[in-house]
Amino acid sequence: MNESIITLDERSRLYQLEETIRQGLNTFVDVGNALLEIRDKRLYRQEYSTFEEYCREQWNMKQSRAYQFMDSAKVVGNLQSSTIVELLPINESQARPLTTLEPAEQIEAWKRALTSTPEGKITAAIVLKAAKEVEQERRDERRQERIENIAEIVANNKPIDGIGVFPVIYADPPWQYDFPISDSRRIENQYPTMPIEEICALPVEKISAPDGILFLWASTPFLKKGLRVLDAWGFDYRTSMVWVKPSIGPGQWVRQRHEYLLIGVRGSIPTPKGENKPDSVIESPREEHSKKPEIVYDIIEQMYPELPKVELFCRSPREGWVSWGNET
Do 317 and 228 fall into the same domain? yes
The whole-angstrom separation of Cα 194 and Cα 312 is 13
User: Which tops the pLDDT comparison, 184 or 258?
Assistant: 258
Q: Are the C-beta atoms of residues 58 and 18 closer than 8 Å to each other?
A: yes
pLDDT on residue 80: 85
Do 78 and 169 fall into the same domain? no
pLDDT on residue 187: 46
- Find the helix or strand (DSSP H, E) in which 142 lies: helix 124-156
pLDDT at residue 29 is higher than 60: yes
User: Which tops the pLDDT comparison, 229 or 5?
Assistant: 229
User: Which tops the pLDDT comparison, 316 or 299?
Assistant: 299
Q: How many domains does the chain have?
A: 2
Do 225 and 275 fall into the same domain? yes
For the chain, count helices (H), then strands (E).
10, 7
Do 168 and 306 fall into the same domain? yes
Question: Whole-number mean pLDDT of the chain?
Answer: 84
pLDDT on residue 230: 96
What is the pLDDT averaged over residues 75-103? Answer: 86
CATH code at position 277: 3.40.50.150
Q: Quick check: is 150 in a domain?
A: no
The sheet carrying 322-324 orders its strands as: 281-283, 236-244, 258-266, 208-219, 166-171, 309-312, 322-324
Do 231 and 314 fall into the same domain? yes
Q: Quick check: is 258 in a domain?
A: yes
Q: How confident is the model at residue 152 (pLDDT cuts 50, 70, 90)?
A: low
Do 312 and 207 fall into the same domain? yes
Which of 103, 136, 169 finishes a domain?
A: 136
Q: Quick check: is 3 in a domain?
A: no
User: Which tops the pLDDT comparison, 178 or 322?
Assistant: 322
Q: Quick check: is 98 in a domain?
A: yes
Angle at 321 between CA 280 and CA 190, to 5 degrees: 75
Do 90 and 182 fall into the same domain? no
Q: How confident is the model at residue 24 (pLDDT cuts 50, 70, 90)?
A: low
Burial of residue 159 (CB within 10 Å: 0-12, 13-18, 19+) is: exposed
* Four-point Cα dihedral 24, 26, 32, 34, nearest 10: -30
CA 317 to chain centre: 31
Angle at 194 between CA 189 and CA 197, to 5 degrees: 155
> Which of helix, strand or coil describes residue 129?
helix
Q: Are the C-beta atoms of residues 51 and 62 closer than 8 Å to each other?
A: no
Do 310 and 176 fall into the same domain? yes
223-246 CB burial, b ≥16 within 10 A, e <16: eebbbbbbebbbbeeeebbebebe
Which CA distances in Å does 77 have to 37, 81, 126, 181, 216?
A: 14, 6, 20, 72, 51
pLDDT on residue 327: 46
pLDDT at residue 139 is higher than 60: yes
What is the pLDDT averaged over residues 9-22? Answer: 70
Domain that holds residue 56: 8-136
What is the pLDDT averaged over residues 70-83? Answer: 89
pLDDT tens, position by position, 98-131: 999 999 999 999 999 988 876 667 888 999 999 9
Do 198 and 129 fall into the same domain? no
pLDDT on residue 185: 42
